[in-house]
Chains A and B, each alone.
Chain A
């Protein structure tokens, strides 16, 4: 991981316009190679670990290439007094970036759009009846943004919820695909995302084969969408297996 991150460009500078113009047609060729050496249907190597935050009920840390995400889960705990009475539990999600997460140093933003997408992705998988009148809070922090941040956040959050002992129908795995010219590129990095014609993200429960979230942006034709969905679902089932082995490893270690 250290060697690979060393070879990959960690700092990106905007290229001059002439270089940009020259670089653009490369993506339309059928035999171009991705900058990190992956094939088109190949995901980045995944590093997953639970129990990263001591004070949280459950937590998880995920690395996908250069994307680094940490998620904490608190609760079930008492809802705020302003909330209305509810027979089922509540789920609050918050996704934020650190100031050093992006190449351009930012303010460290709370991302409202990502938070609502994460909420929609997770609430279909959680059995909310098991904790009535209480609230589960999910806090996701993107430590480094290396492309495909939102799918990594969603997968890491479901791992943290399982670590916290929240009852769920299934784990939630998420993968995204970018469309560049004629090619479908899975799990794109930041550079590929900046040149994409369209992107598609699928969040699904791999064991039950149900989709909890589907987000499509940009220009797509119908056969292309279908092909991208197949690609994503296959990658999600593989990612689900990796997540299960990570949870079993942690659970077995705590049993000893």
Chain B
């Protein structure tokens, strides 16, 4: 199909093509009753050709891969980001308790959220090693900025977050003197003004 690359705006419910010719990507869906691909967002339609297997120039007819291009709709205004399991978020620690810390999610990936979502970092999700010896107050303090990954949707109250990787943990913290501390190891941060060393679960940059 010779689809000219022009700026085509679509609205929800517009027909994008047949399901036998197109695969529905983001912003599109397949209606199973008539095998039609519709748009579900307002935005620009784009066609992505299928990934071609370059060594397999002549595919065997019995094992032919899916040759359909993927159609996507890029929203002109994406709504505020919604946390999904597996994504990396930036959160601010709100409260530290004996077995968990509550944090407010501020960014999902590189997109900020319009209104905060609550997250919980549980005792067993702080680091991958020596889980039994984790001390909550040696890992986080209220006001710290942490990078975490979303484990699951959690319960009705909060998403479950995890910092059990080297790249996850506290990325920014303030000392009691009010200065932003410098990470010096994976468990310690130092205040540049007073030289005071505080314990944190530090993220590897």
- Interfacial residues, chain A to chain B (CB-CB below 8 A): 57-58, 75-79, 81, 83-85, 87, 127, 130-134, 162-171, 205-208, 240, 243-244, 247-248, 250-252, 254-255
Contact = CB atoms under 8 A, between A and B. Distances in A.
Given A78-B117, A127-B29, A247-B42, A169 B12 contact: yes
Contact of B31 (A208, A240, A254): A208
B169 interface: no
Nearest to A131: B82
A207 B38 contact: yes
A170 B13 contact: yes
B155 interface: yes
A124 B166 CA distance: 44
Contacts of A247: 9, 11, 42
A167 B40 contact: yes
A78 B79 contact: no
B38 A169 contact: yes
B79 A208 contact: no
Contact of A255 (B7, B29, B40, B117): B7
B24 to A, nearest CB: 12
Contact of A77 (B43, B115, B155): B115
Contacts of A76: 79-80, 82
B17 to A, nearest CB: 14
A155 B21 CA distance: 32
Interface of B, secondary structure class, is: loop
B82 A169 contact: no
Given A78-B118, A163-B77, A168 B82 contact: no
Contacts of B44: 251, 255
Contacts of B31: 169, 208
Nearest to A132: B153
B156 A85 contact: yes
Given A165-B41, A165-B75, A167-B41, A78 B115 contact: yes
Interface string B31-57: 100000010111110000000000000
A48 B70 CA distance: 33
Nearest to A245: B11
Interface in B140-188: 153, 155-157
A243 B155 CA distance: 39
Nearest to B116: A78
